[in-house]
Structure formats: structure tokens, C-alpha cells
Structure 1
Amino acid sequence: MIRFVLNVLWAIFGSGIVLAIGYGIAALICFALIITIPFGVAALRLASYSLWPFGRTLVTKPGAGVASGVTNIVWVLVAGWWLALAHILAGVAQCVTIIGIPFGIANFKLVPAALWPLGQEVVPAP
């Protein structure tokens, strides 16, 4: 029940909806450019994860190979570093208040996803 309440508060006050819309727009752009469709799929995964982060975690797919590693390097150079930086800055800003600490932690949890999204999947947390 606590995870549900935190997810609802995150979606409304913790920038979850804004992040999901941003990642969704990025996914649409990636789909329109055709060659960047794998990045679009990763952006949709990030949109889902950023909308509802509590109670879920990111794990490496067992079948992820060299291709996902190479495309992740391209992702980091093009978009990943500034997305991760934005999550870090938002997390620090949210951790300034006691009420914002869970939201700041959720932003810090999104940093690895923003940096290295390909070859990973979102699963329920244990």
C-alpha cells in the first residue's frame, strides 16, 4: 500500500508525469527517425519506469549482448549523460526537504536507467 501511495504522489508532485511525457516524446522522435527505433523502445521503458518507480527495479537482460553495449555507448554520448545529470540535480533538490527524500531517492534510482537503458528490463522489486 505504501508503494502505491508513493507512486501516486510521485506521479503528481515528484515529476513522474513530466518525466514520462518527456521520455514519451523522445520515443516518438526516435521512432520517426527509424534507425533509432531501439532508442525509442528504451525511451518507452524509461517512461514507464519513471512514471511508477516505487516497487520496481532495473535488471540486466540475460540475452543482452555486444550490440546493446555498443548502442548504450552511443546513447550515453547523445542523451544519457544529460538525462542522468538532470535526475541527479532533481534528486539533490528534492532531498533538501524531509518530505522530498523518497522522491529524491527515486530520482537517484533513475540515474543508471538514464545512462545505460538498452539491455535492461524493469521488474518488480523483491
Structure 2
Amino acid sequence: MNILWIILGGFFVFLGYLTGGIVFCLSIIGIPLGFQCFKLAIFSLFPFGSDTRPKPHYEVNETLNLLANIIWLIFGGIWIMLNHLVWGIVLCISIIGIPFGLQHFKMMKLAFTPFGREIYDIN
């Protein structure tokens, strides 16, 4: 399914996140946002067989993650999340597109609050 995903548009999602990460990393202030874009790029390249979960509490600073997620939403995260929402709904209209739409919904979770979350293999 990952091969079909890449052929049918997943590669363009990956390129979008990669480009966004590079643009964010051009400024020192944007580097943390750029790293989150890179995390989303990797996740968007192979979404089948992987998912996200909150990081263990001993690894995160909840206050900093909340602040970083708010900044993320202000500087584009809300538009990324809405983009995945729209594509998920459009793809779920047809039976063939349902698996791909569900992957967009999964990416929507990470696009909404990327700080304090990690990607893991389901298998």
C-alpha cells in the first residue's frame, strides 16, 4: 500500500513537508518547526504500517510542547491539518480511496500537534 500511496500522491505530500522544513530551517527561530516538518515528511512517505503516539512523560516538557504546538498552529499547522482533513474526506467518498483517506486522517493528528509525539511502527 505504501508503494501505491507514493505513486498516487504521497510523494508530493512528502515534497511539500520537505520544502516547508527547509524553509523553516533558514531562520534560527524556525529550526524546531522545520524539524517537525521533517518528521511529518518521513511519516507521509510511508504512512501504512506506522502511527503516532505521545512521547513518554519522562522525555517531554509539557509546557514547552504546548507553547511550541500553539506557535506551530499559528504559523501554518492549522492549514496543514485542514488540508489533510479535506483530502481525507474527499478520498473516503469512494470505496477504493478509503484506505488513503484514513492515512490522511492519521497524518492530521500529527499535523495538529507534532511536538510531544513520536512515530512508531505498528508491526
State the Cα distance separating 1:119 from its structure 2 match. Answer: 1.5
Q: Secondary structure of 2:102's partner?
A: helix
Pair 1:40-2:34 in alignment:
yes
1:30 maps to 2:24: yes
Runs of 4+ in 1 over 2 A off after TM superposition: none
TM-score (norm 2): 0.93
1:21 Cα shift? 0.3
AA aligned to 1:59 is: R
* RMSD, matched Cα: 1.0
1:15-94 to 2 correspondence within 5 Å? 15-62=9-56, 63-65=59-61, 66-94=63-91
After superposition, the C-alpha distances for 1:4-51 in whole angstroms (9 at most, x for unaligned) are xx11101111x2101110000010011111211111111000000011
Amino acid at match of 1:107: H
Q: Which residue of 2 aligns with 1:115?
A: 112
**Shift in Å, 1:100:** 0.5
Amino acid paired to 1:94: L
Distance 2:34 2:116 in 1: 13
The one-letter amino acid paired with 2:100 is F
1: distance between equivalents of 2:28 and 2:10?
27
Paired residue secondary structure (2:25): helix
Aligned residue number for residue 105 of structure 1? 102
Q: For structure 2, list consecutive stretches of 5 or more residues without a partner in the other structure.
A: none
